[in-house]
Chains A and B, each alone.
Chain A
């Protein structure tokens, strides 16, 4: 009896630690990535698996109870809601006209063509600001 308890506890701890690792990696990615869209990658993905693993750990720890069923439903809702909200936020940013950050050489090219083409001014200035931010980070590493 105590053997099974030990095994359950070990599995729970491992799942919790792996989940916490992914949450940590997602948060570090959120801080380090250069622009809005790439930060969406970090938060939208790592949260899903991190939270999922932690909730599975709770199910393993709690055993087959009604609470476990509720946690199972929570996991399903997170699986549905997380990508949907990520998509909604990304779409809002895209509709406002936020340009995705590119690597340095690509961005210079894009800005030159943008100047000659003389298209939307707001888009260019937005790109410039996002770009400088990214450039600082890039050189710092």
Chain B
């Protein structure tokens, strides 16, 4: 058991407890300390796996990625709302596949979720390193295959 990971996990879990409980009397804080220690003992190897490096850089880059992602989510919603409300309903669904260059599970999960959240595309399946993506029309599929999002994710997780 890595004592540094154990302490760091306890502190994070306890901070989360304080945020959620919002009570500062002895009983609640004491219960929080005990629960944090038990949870941290059981799960100290989940939060910090110990295998990754440059964790701080990745975290900072991921946070920097969020505003762009939220902007894309807004675009996605306007796009879907337009297609849903337009009388002609301009949709032409198709399934596209592409090979990814991302290696780690976290990076692939981030890409899959980002694809689902952004304009007109939903990730259906990942088989080995091939993504199956359902696109609502041709333009979103073309935008996806152009690969801007994959490059951003690769940059975050230092796989470029």
* Interface: A12 (CB within 8 A): no
Render A88-107 as a binary contact track against B, CB cut-off 8 A, 1 for contact.
00110011000011110000
* Interface: B147 (CB within 8 A): no
CB distance from B31 to the nearest CB of A (A): 17
Given contacts A83-B117, A94-B124, contact A45 B20 (CB under 8 A): no
Render B124-147 as a binary contact track against A, CB cut-off 8 A, 1 for contact.
110000001010100000000000
Secondary structure of the A side of the interface?
A: helix
Q: Contact between A45 and B93 (Cβ–Cβ < 8 Å)?
A: no
CA distance A102 to B94 in the complex (A): 7
Most chain A CB within 10 A, of B83, B84, B85, B92, is at B84
Which B residue's beta carbon lies closest to that of A21? B81
- Neighbouring A residues of B114 by C-beta, 8 Å: 83
* Interface: A124 (CB within 8 A): no
How many CB-defined contacts (below 8 Å) exist between A and B?
Answer: 109
CB distance from B89 to the nearest CB of A (A): 6
* Interface: B107 (CB within 8 A): no
CA distance A59 to B73 in the complex (A): 20
Given contacts A40-B122, A101-B93, contact A22 B87 (CB under 8 A): no
Q: Contact between B88 and A26 (Cβ–Cβ < 8 Å)?
A: no
Q: Contact between B87 and A141 (Cβ–Cβ < 8 Å)?
A: yes
Render B99-123 as a binary contact track against A, CB cut-off 8 A, 1 for contact.
0000000000000111011001011
Q: Contact between B134 and A100 (Cβ–Cβ < 8 Å)?
A: yes
- Neighbouring B residues of A32 by C-beta, 8 Å: 84, 89
Q: Contact between A49 and B77 (Cβ–Cβ < 8 Å)?
A: yes
Interface residues in B67-101 by Cβ distance below 8 A to A read 73-74, 76-77, 80-81, 83-85, 87-89, 91-95
- Neighbouring A residues of B89 by C-beta, 8 Å: 32-33, 141
* Interface: B56 (CB within 8 A): no
Given contacts A35-B93, A41-B80, A69-B19, contact A90 B85 (CB under 8 A): no
B76 interface neighbour in A34, A45, A91, Cβ under 8 Å? A45
CB distance from A50 to the nearest CB of B (A): 8
* Interface: A8 (CB within 8 A): no
Q: Contact between B116 and A44 (Cβ–Cβ < 8 Å)?
A: yes
Most chain A CB within 10 A, of B20, B83, B120, is at B83
Q: Which B residues form the contact surface with A (CB < 8 A)? A: 19-20, 22, 73-74, 76-77, 80-81, 83-85, 87-89, 91-95, 112-114, 116-117, 120, 122-125, 132, 134, 136
Q: Which A residues form the contact surface with B (CB < 8 A)? A: 21-22, 25-26, 28-29, 32-35, 37-38, 40-42, 44-46, 48-50, 52, 66, 69-70, 73, 79-80, 82-84, 86-87, 90-91, 94-95, 100-103, 141
Q: Can you report 8 residue pairs joining A to B where beta carbons are below 8 Å apart?
A: A29-B85, A48-B73, A80-B113, A83-B123, A86-B116, A87-B122, A94-B132, A100-B94
